[in-house]
Amino acid sequence: MVAALAGVSRATVSRVVNGASSVDPGLTASVQKAVQALNYVPNRAARTLASRRTFTVTLLVPESTSKVFADPFFAAVVEGVARYLNTTEYMLNMVTSSESNPEKTRRYLLGGNVDGVLVVSHHTGDHSWAHLDGSLPLVFAGRPLLNSADAYFVEVDNEKGAATGTARLTGSGRTNIATIAGPQDMHPGVDRLAGWRGEVLRAGLTDALVEIGDFTVASGAAAMRRLLDRGAPLDGVFAANDQMAAGAYSVIRERGLRIPEDIAVVGFDDDYYATSLTPALTTIHHPISLLGEKMAEVLVDLIEGRPAERITRLPTSLVERESA
Amino acid sequence: MVAALAGVSRATVSRVVNGASSVDPGLTASVQKAVQALNYVPNRAARTLASRRTFTVTLLVPESTSKVFADPFFAAVVEGVARYLNTTEYMLNMVTSSESNPEKTRRYLLGGNVDGVLVVSHHTGDHSWAHLDGSLPLVFAGRPLLNSADAYFVEVDNEKGAATGTARLTGSGRTNIATIAGPQDMHPGVDRLAGWRGEVLRAGLTDALVEIGDFTVASGAAAMRRLLDRGAPLDGVFAANDQMAAGAYSVIRERGLRIPEDIAVVGFDDDYYATSLTPALTTIHHPISLLGEKMAEVLVDLIEGRPAERITRLPTSLVERESA
DNA sequence: TTGTATGCGTTATCAT
DNA sequence: ATGATAACGCATACAA
C-alpha cells in the first residue's frame, strides 16, 4: 500500500480510508494528502477478500432478461435503484431467476458474491425467494398476502392512494361511486379496495358498488359492464389501476355515456394508459423509480447494520386530468 | 480451498477449474466430483486479486442515469449486452460519465476495477473516451468521422441499409426519388446518404434531390418542405431516420398529397415512430439489441486476447409496411 | 491511538 | 504433469 510511504503505517491508512476508529487528526490529514498525491484508490477485490463483503447488490427479477428491459416498470425501478446506489460504493448486478435452474441462482446468491438482494416481481410479490432471508439481507417490492416472517418490503401506499383517488370523486359531488377492484389475493387489490371503501363510507355513501377485475384492460371492461347492468345509478368509478380504467372507458362509451359528465373515472398508477386515453385519465401517481430508490436504501441500511423499517410505504399523489 | 481435500493439491484444482494446461484425466475426474460434492464455487474476489482480472465490464453512457433507462435505445442496447454477458462469467456495471467530474470516472476505469469498457453515446460516437484505449479494451457503438487510431466499433450497416430502403422505391417503379439525409458530420448521416445515392444512380436516376436534416422531426418537415418547393417531380423519398420521415409525413399531408400513392416514404431505424404513423412506415430495421450483444462479444474477445474485427457491421432488413 | 502480523481464496512461479 | 509456495492488496485481531 503505497500511501503508507507518505505517512506512517498501513493499518492506519486503512483506518483513515474507512473512516474507522479514532485516528489522530494530524495523521489523518497527512494520510489524506498522501492519498491525494498518489491518486490512491482502494482495490475492490482485496477489500472484499479481506472483509468478506462484496459491495455488490443483486436485483433479482423473474422474467427473462429480454423482457425486463422493455418493461417500463422495471426500467423505472432499475433507474431508482441505480440512482441511489450511485451515492454509495455499492455496485448493482442483475440476475434473472427463471433462466436455467433456480439452484444456480441460489448458489450464486449464497456463494458470497453478493451483500444483499432486491427482489422485484412485477407489481406484486413473488416471494419464492423468501427462504434466502436470514442468510442474506433481502428487500421486496410489494408484500405478499401472508406476511412472511421477517422480510423487508417497500410498497406504494395503496390504501391511502385509493382513498385520495376516491375523494376526488366524493369531493366533486358524485354520490353513486363504484369501484373496479383488483384481485383480492394480492395486496394492491385488497388495499385499494379498502381505500375506496373507507372513503365512500366516510362520505356517507354506499359501498355496495364493487366489481372485481384482474388488472387487465379486458377485465376492466367486463367489470364496468356488470356495474352498468345492475341498473343502479352511477356517476363515478374508481378503477384500481389505469388499465382497468381503460377497459371501463370503452364500455362507458359503448353505452353512450360521457366521461366525465355522466360518469367520472379515476384510475391508479399513472402509467402509459393514463395519458393516452381520451379524455386523459385523472389518476393516482405510483412513484416507481422512488420505489427502486427506497428499496436500495433499505437494503444498504440492512447490509450496514443500520435499523430499517420493516415496511416502507411510499406516498402517492393525485394527478388531475380530465376524466374526473 | 476445500476441494483439495477430496483430491490432491490445490494448484491442480485451479488448473482443472480453469481448464488450463494438461491435467491427468484421472485427477481431473476426481477433482470434478469433489467440486460437485462440496458444491464448490470459486471466490470471485480472490480470483480477481490473484489474477488481476475483474471479470467486470463497464457500460459507459453519457447522459445522467435517469434519462438512460427511459430511452428505448439504451434499454435495447443494455438488453443485448446483458444477454451476451449472461453466457459468460462477466458482470456488467454501468457508469454515467457526465455525473460529477470526468476525472473520477477515468480513475475508476483505470483503477483496475474493470476489464473493459463499452462506450455507448446515443446513436453516434462521442469518442472523448478514446484516450483510454491502450490502457483498457474499448468498444464503441458507432464510429466517429475521423477514425481514431485503433479502436473497435460496432455499427449497423448504414450504407447497405439505406441502399435497401431506396431499392424498395426504385423497385416499385418510382423514378423521382429524393432523400432527407442526416447530418453530414457523423457517419450514419454520411453513410445513409451514400447508400441512397448508390442505389438511385444504379437505377439510372438523378441524385440531385437531397436535403439535409438533423434527425429530428422538425428538421424532417423542413427538409420535405424544401424538397417540395423545388417544384421538381417527386414520387418517393428515403428519410435517413424514422423521425425525419414523421416530419415529412406532416408536410406531405399539408400539401394535400397522399402516402404512398403520390409519394412513397421509406425510413430508417424502425423505431416507435414507424408503427405509430399512419400509414405505418416502411423502414429499415436497426437491430439495436444485437448491437449491444455484438459489442459485448467483441469486448470479451478483446479481453481474452482473441482476435476481433476492428469494425463489425450489423445486417439490416427491410420492414415492409404501408408507406412504400 | 498506532503498529505488527496474519489471513482472505486464488493464481502464478518455480521446482520437482 | 503436479506440488510447494509466494504474491495479490487490504482488513483486522492483537499487541504495544
What's the confidence (pLDDT) of residue B125? 52
What's the confidence (pLDDT) of residue B121? 79
Grid cell, residue B143, equals 464510429
Secondary element (H or E) of residue B153: strand B152-156
Whether B92 sits inside 8 A of A93 (CB atoms) is: yes
For residue A113, is pLDDT > 90?
no
* Cβ-based neighbour number of residue B70 at 10 Å: 14
What's the confidence (pLDDT) of residue B124? 57
Which residues partner with B237 through β-bridges? Answer: B178, B265
Give A238-263 pLDDT, tens digit per residue: 999 999 999 999 999 999 999 999 99
What's the confidence (pLDDT) of residue A147? 64
What's the confidence (pLDDT) of residue A19? 81
Whether B111 sits inside 8 A of A41 (CB atoms) is: yes
B107 contact residues in A (CB cutoff 8 A):
39, 41
What's the confidence (pLDDT) of residue A2? 66
- Residues recorded for chain A: 324
How far: B24 CA to D4 C1' (Å)? 19
What's the confidence (pLDDT) of residue B123? 54
Domain A158-287, classified CATH 3.40.50.2300, yes or no: yes
Classify A238 as helix, strand or coil: strand
Given A69, A86, A112, which is nearest B43 (Cβ)? Answer: A112
In this prediction, residue A9 has a pLDDT band, given cuts at 50, 70 and 90, of confident
What's the confidence (pLDDT) of residue B130? 67
pLDDT: is B41 or A187 the higher one? Answer: A187
For residue A160, is pLDDT > 90?
yes
In this prediction, residue A62 has a pLDDT band, given cuts at 50, 70 and 90, of confident
Which amino acid appears at position A257 of this protein?
A: L
What's the confidence (pLDDT) of residue B277? 96
Domain A56-156+288-314, classified CATH 3.40.50.2300, yes or no: yes
The class level of CATH for B2-42 reads mainly alpha
Closest CA to A184 of A175, A197, A168: A197
Give B64-93 pLDDT, tens digit per residue: 666 777 788 888 998 899 899 988 889 988
What's the confidence (pLDDT) of residue B135? 79
Mean residue pLDDT of chain B comes to 90
Judged on CB neighbours under 10 Å (0-12, 13-18, 19+), B192 is buried
In this prediction, residue A149 has a pLDDT band, given cuts at 50, 70 and 90, of low
DSSP state of A124: S
Residues of chain B with pLDDT under 50: none
How far: B52 CA to C11 C1' (Å)? 9
pLDDT: is A91 or A240 the higher one? Answer: A240
Whether A75 sits inside 8 A of B70 (CB atoms) is: yes
**Cα of A260 vs its chain's centroid, Å:** 30
* Cβ-based neighbour number of residue B224 at 10 Å: 29
Given A65, A79, A107, which is nearest B82 (Cβ)? Answer: A65
Domain with CATH 1.10.260.40 in chain B: 2-42
A112 and A120 Cβ atoms separated by less than 8 Å: no
What's the rounded Cα separation, in Å, for the pair B91 and B44?
11
A44 contact residues in B (CB cutoff 8 A):
45, 48, 54, 113
For residue A169, is pLDDT > 60?
yes
A107 contact residues in B (CB cutoff 8 A):
39, 41
